[in-house]
């Protein structure tokens, strides 16, 4: 769809397995002082001294987690890294290393993989993490990406999913529903393109949401802000499956309930516009859409003054007593029980 | 082929994504004192104190890396873990944690996955490592397994691929070619079975090699032996792609050559018998067959007395001067340049 057809094509067989990974990673420099051994040995070696090590891993499968029709490979590489770093930040930890393993069918050329690794490199530079390992192998169908991120934190700063208490504030970074709306636009334009390949996609007026879908960012800035403000979230999670699903994770792990106020949920005007076009309630996009990679946290009431007017953060509710449920309070003051409808659920994809 | 047809079948959709991983991992206990947070949060947390952290990751794809026709799922789970632990031991490090992510098509039932996780659990118990994370997602085709292993070592004990010097001994653990021969037998019996499903496979007289293929072990015992003998290998690698390929990695990383003596290469009598049936030279199975997961190391001459008669270890040659090549010295005293023919190469699988 957006592919440049005039590029040089080298088959992966021409290079061979060992040379491929060497070739793809030759321009990666090691920047983190804790990286002692990077790519090229059986395992990487990381020196953590007195810090804790935090590890997160993700498996991404073509046509389940991404669609190469509208996802440029460079963006895919970038996003695959960002998604994992987001998990490290959500522990209130600093990511320092990643490993990347790929399964590839023979339809991928070396040049295509170079684009993918350009995206990975860009993410490594932006987030200051080192690529330290991984491998490539063939796949009988499509592209498979497995990424592991490793991070560091001092013992008293880790934010788990458990730890939220009654009356703690429920705070979210950024705004919600954008990545989901971006996906709706891309899927619509793909259908239009498939019906008539001469149609060019009209994407300009949806750039915010398409960017949220194709090139999301992990909230490194929020992680740093929390450190500056001397706030250690009592519980934290990143929003990959929609607000509803994530807040239920926090409530379940912390064994308490919460109230979320509909009118407090931060939603971008472009999300409202797209939802209007698609006849979706913007609230549904925020609650059940996924891939926003914002941070959702429990913060002690005593920190209210620090966060209340910060442009990165919004207080959307508070936690309630033990064994009460997670509720949405609508603008008409109705109480609705939240349910998990993670859009990436296994049953949906089959 | 070896499947029990009378078992209860629960579809993955019945459980749902979140409950599936909870269900599959509910019987895993955390044993390693360095594991602070295990499964169920965004990332696991590991406390390494003054040690180095060693990380290795592997991606295994159905019909590329394993064939479920003859690979029982429990064995597959066990092997998938062992393969990763082998990479940690080959750094002369002690594995302590693993993460497991799965991609699954809808042909897999919950019961099938339980068998897979039984194998993972068995490996965790045997090797004393903790399962600390991972996820499951759907796959449009077949089964995809991504495993990351994390280990620990003190700084002065790490054995990389580089570090071997002229005159160092080249030492291998166990014997070679068995896993490759086991695969040949399994492939033959699969073809016989496919031709006539009433034929029952004849496997009894090949149990050593089939075991090497279906249920390999990582050389924890050799890692512990080296520590007891106070030997720190100057360079080490595990043999996953055949002796030839691995010795070339050591030579390349250490920038030296080596001589391997044909008659010193340890080969089990069952390998010789199977090679005779298949009209293969047993040497080819040892040099170019894969998946033996033995350790190949460079050891200082001063350690010769410690290793020369040990039943776990065989001196098969020595390293030679800078920039010389890796050579096989045959029993007729011919010199043959070794070339890498890793059997898992990407070009072969396409």
Q: What is the pLDDT of residues A176-201, one digit of tens each?
A: 999 999 999 999 998 988 888 887 77
Cβ-nearest to A45 among B37, B52, B140? B52
> Which of A50, A91, A134 minimises the CB distance to B45?
A91
CA B200 remoteness from chain centre: 29
CA distance B276 to chain A (A): 31
Size of interface A-B (CB pairs under 8 A): 250
Q: What is the DSSP letter of B155?
A: G
Q: Would you say A7 and B344 are in contact if contact means Cβ atoms under 8 Å apart?
A: no
Give contacts of A105 with chain B, Cβ < 8 Å. Answer: 350
**A300 φ, ψ to 5°?**
-60, 145
pLDDT of the residue at A349: 31
**pLDDT at residue B194, rounded to an integer:** 87
β-strands B313-322, B169-173 pairing: antiparallel
Nearest chain A CA: its distance from B184 CA (Å) = 21
Q: HSE on the CB side for B171, CA within 13 Å?
A: 31
Residue of A nearest to B41 (CA): A161
Rg (CA), chain A: 21
**pLDDT tens sequence across A14-32:** 776 667 767 777 777 776 6
Query: What's the rounded mean pLDDT across residues A333-341?
Result: 85
* Shortest Cα distance, chain A CAs vs residue B260, angstroms: 22
Give yes or no for a contact between A144 and A103, defined as CB atoms under 8 angstroms apart. yes
- CA A247 – CA A16 distance, rounded (Å): 46
Token pair of B173 as six digits: 């653990």
Q: Which of residues 229-268 of B touch A (CB under 8 A)?
A: 236-238, 253
Task: Determine, for residues A61 and B140 on separate chains, whether the beta-carbon distance falls below 8 Å.
Answer: yes
Q: Is B172 in a helix, a strand, or coil?
A: strand
Distance from CA of residue A103 to its chain's centroid? 21
Q: How many CA atoms lie within 13 A of A268 on its CB side?
A: 21
Q: Is the dihedral of CA B299, B305, B306, B307 positive or negative?
A: positive
Please name the residue that has the structure tokens 């023919």.
Answer: B341
Q: In this structure, are residues A48 and B53 in contact, taking their beta carbons and an 8 Å threshold?
A: yes
| Chain B: residue whose CA lies nearest to A345 | B17
| Cβ contact B120:B154 at 8 Å | no
| Cβ contact A97:A32 at 8 Å | yes
Note whether B237 contacts A50, CB cutoff 8 Å: no
Chain B residues near residue A154 by CB distance under 8 angstroms: none
Kindly give the residue spans of alpha helices, DSSP state H, lying in A90-233: 110-127, 178-195, 207-214, 220-228
Cβ-nearest to B57 among A36, A99, A142: A99
Contact A53 B48 (CB under 8 A): yes
What are the angstrom distances between the C-alpha of B232 and each of A211, B151, B303?
51, 17, 10
Residues pairing with A15 in the sheet:
none
Whether residues B64 and A103 touch (CB distance < 8 A) is answered with yes
Contacts of B97 in chain A (CB under 8 A): 55
Other C-beta atoms closer than 10 Å to the C-beta of A307 total 19
Would you call A30 an interface residue with chain B, using a CB distance cutoff of 8 Å? no
Using a CB-CB cut-off of 8 Å, the residues of chain A touching B88 are 42-43
Cβ contact B151–A99 (<8 Å): no
- Residue A46, pLDDT > 80, answer no
Cβ distance of B346 and A87 shorter than 8 Å: no
Residue written as token pair 């064995």: B75
Q: Smallest CA–CA separation between A106 and chain B, in Å?
A: 7
Range with the lowest mean pLDDT among A15-19, A139-143, A258-262, B225-229? A15-19
Rounded CA-CA distance B130/B124 in Å is: 6
100-139 of B, contacting A, C-beta below 8 A: 101-106, 132-139
Cβ–Cβ of B56/A342 closer than 8 Å? no
The domains located in chain B, with CATH, are 12-157 (3.30.1330.10), 169-349 (3.90.650.10)
State residue B349's pLDDT score.
31
Question: Could you tell me if A242 and B18 are in contact, meaning their C-beta atoms sit under 8 angstroms apart?
Answer: no
CA distance A50 to B50: 6
**What is the chain B residue with the closest CA to A145?**
B59
How many Å lie between the alpha carbon of B120 and the closest alpha carbon of chain A? 17
Return all residues near A311 (Cβ < 8 A) that are at least 6 apart: none
Residues B51 and B242: their CA atoms lie apart, in Å, by 31
Q: What is the helix (H) or strand (E) element at residue A321, kind and residue range?
A: strand A313-322
How far apart CA B213 and CA A27 sit, in angstroms, is 37
Instruction: Please list the rounded mean pLDDT of every run of 10 residues in chain B (350 residues).
Output: 60 70 73 71 71 86 92 95 95 91 88 90 91 83 92 86 95 98 94 84 89 97 97 96 94 95 97 96 94 97 95 97 90 89 37
ipTM exceeding the 0.90 mark: no
- H helix or E strand, kind and range, residue B285: helix B282-288
Torsion of CA B123, B129, B133, B134, to 10 degrees: -30
- What's the confidence (pLDDT) of residue A132? 85
Among A40, A42, A46, beta carbon nearest to B87: A42
**Residues B93/A16, Cβ–Cβ less than 8 Å:** no
Contact B128, B85 (CB under 8 A): no
Instruction: List the single residue in B142, B148, B350 with the smallest CB-CB distance to A99.
Output: B148
A10 contacts chain B (CB < 8 A): no
Determine the pLDDT at residue B350: 27
Global model pTM greater than 0.80: yes
Per-position b or e across A17-50, b if 16+ CB within 10 A of its CB? bbebbebbbeebebebebbbbbbbbbbbbbbbee
Our CA-based measurement puts residue A242 at a distance from the nearest CA of chain B, in whole angstroms, of 14
Looking at chain A, the number of H-run helices and the number of E-run strands are: 12, 14
Alpha helices (runs of H) in A260-343, residue ranges in sequence order: 269-278, 282-288, 304-307
Is A292 buried (19+), middle (13-18) or exposed (0-12) by CB count in 10 A?
A: buried
Window A:139-158, CB contacts with B under 8 Å: 139-142, 144, 146, 148-151, 153, 155, 158
What is the overall mean pLDDT for chain A? 88
Task: State residue B37's pLDDT score.
Answer: 73
* Angle, helix A73-89 to helix A220-228, in steps of 10 degrees: 30
pLDDT at A341: 62
DSSP B161: S
B residues 201-220 closer than 8 Å to A (CB)? none
**Minimum mean pLDDT range among A204-218, A333-347, B14-28, B205-219:** A333-347
Terminal alpha carbon distance of chain B: 25
Alpha carbon distance B255, A272 (integer Å): 62
Residue burial B268-277, b: 16+ Cβ < 10 Å; e: rest: bebbeebbee
Summarised one tens digit per residue, pLDDT across range A90-103 is 999 999 889 999 99
Choice among A7-21, A107-121, A151-165, B243-257 with the minimum mean pLDDT: A7-21
Tokens at residue B88, please?
């940690």
Q: Phi then psi for B300, rounded to 5 degrees?
A: -60, 145
From the list A172, A148, A169, the residue with the least C-alpha distance to A222 is A172
Q: Which burial class, exposed, middle or buried, applies to B2 when counting CB atoms under 10 A from its CB (0-12, 13-18, 19+)?
A: exposed
The packing angle between helices B269-278 and B207-214, to 10°, is 90
The size of chain B, in residues, is: 350
The token duo for B101 is 């992510």
Tokens linked to B108: 């897999």
CB-CB contact of B304 with B313 (8 Å):
no
Q: Which residue, B287, B291, B307, is CA-closest to B299?
A: B307
């Amino acid at each position: 769809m957006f592919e440049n057809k005039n590029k040089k094509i080298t088959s992966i067989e021409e290079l061979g397995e060992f040379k491929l990974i060497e070739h793809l990673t030759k321009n990666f420099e090691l920047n983190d002082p804790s990286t002692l051994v990077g790519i090229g040995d059986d395992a990487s070696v990381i020196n953590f001294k007195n810090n804790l090590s935090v590890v997160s891993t993700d498996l991404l499968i073509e046509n389940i987690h991404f669609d190469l029709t509208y996802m440029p490979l460079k963006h895919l590489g970038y996003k695959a890294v960002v998604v994992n770093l987001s998990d490290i930040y959500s522990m209130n930890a600093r990511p320092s290393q990643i490993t990347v393993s790929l399964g590839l069918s023979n339809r991928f050329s070396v040049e295509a993989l170079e684009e993918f690794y350009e995206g990975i490199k860009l993410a490594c530079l932006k987030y200051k993490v080192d690529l330290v390992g991984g491998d490539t192998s063939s796949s009988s169908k499509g592209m498979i990406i497995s990424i592991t991120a490793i991070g560091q934190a001092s013992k008293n700063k880790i934010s788990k999913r458990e730890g939220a208490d009654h009356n703690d504030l429920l705070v979210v970074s950024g705004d919600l529903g954008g990545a989901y709306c971006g996906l709706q636009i891309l899927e619509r334009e793909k259908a239009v393109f498939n019906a008539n390949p001469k149609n060019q996609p009209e994407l300009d007026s949806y750039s915010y949401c398409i960017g949220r879908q194709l090139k999301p960012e992990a909230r490194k800035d929020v992680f740093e802000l929390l450190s500056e403000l001397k706030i250690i979230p009592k519980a934290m999670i990143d929003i990959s499956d929609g607000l509803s699903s994530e807040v239920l994770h926090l409530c379940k792990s912390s064994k308490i309930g919460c109230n979320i106020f509909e009118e407090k949920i931060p939603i971008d005007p472009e999300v409202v516009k797209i939802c209007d076009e698609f006849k979706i309630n913007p609230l549904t996009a925020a609650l059940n859409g996924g891939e926003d990679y914002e941070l959702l946290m429990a913060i002690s009431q005593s920190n209210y003054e620090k966060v209340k007017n910060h442009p990165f953060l919004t207080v959307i509710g508070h936690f309630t007593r033990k064994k009460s449920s997670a509720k949405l309070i609508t603008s008409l003051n109705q109480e609705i029980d939240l349910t998990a409808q993670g859009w990436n659920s296994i049953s949906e994809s089959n």
